[in-house]
Amino acid sequence: MKNTNYFLIVLMACIFLFFSCGGTDEIESDFGKNISENNISEVICNCFDSNIKPIDEKIIWNGTINDDFDSSSILVVMDKNFSRLNTPPNKCFFGDINIENIMDLTTITGDPNDALINWEKWHQIIMIKLFVNSKENIVNVIRHLEKKEGIMVVAPNHYVYPDGF
């Protein structure tokens, strides 16, 4: 009975992964492996093959809490190998951060092949809206996410004003 329950959990996880990742491309290499209970949730959450490694050098934010930025959202540039067209990472990819909303700022409507994009340089950019509205929280979340594999840059959502305002 225990093996049957474990099999059903793995089957449900694979089905969920299939639909949440948009097909079989991201999960094919995991089917032949022994998936432990610990990394089932990691595979489902990340939608990334465990063999994927970052290729971009991390850029660390060197601003301060005194900078003029939004106190409720951050911007994240995903590593090239972790960028997914029109598919932002699940909330759990970012750990135990209290996330209200994730918006993919690089969403492309229509046929991506018709877009004038240099795909060799393209990185997914997302905005994360947080439930806690404080600059201290923004700085803490940035420091936490800077350590996360798969993230190239994380920074506050700065306010930009036109000259003369």
pTM comes to 0.69
**pLDDT tens figures, 90-103:** 998 998 899 999 99
152 burial type by CB count under 10 A (0-12 exposed, 13-18 middle, 19+ buried)? buried
Provide the pLDDT for residue 40. 46
**pLDDT tens figures, 104-139:** 999 998 888 888 888 888 999 999 999 999 999 999
Provide the pLDDT for residue 14. 52
Tokens standing for residue 48: 């990334």
Q: Which CATH number fits domain 69-158: 3.40.50, 3.40.1000, 3.30.70, 1.10.3470?
A: 3.30.70
SS3 at position 78? strand
CATH 3.30.70 positions along the chain are 69-158
CA distance 134 to 165: 25
Q: Cα 88–125–19 angle (5° rounding)?
A: 15
Tokens standing for residue 42: 């990691």
Tokens standing for residue 126: 């997302």
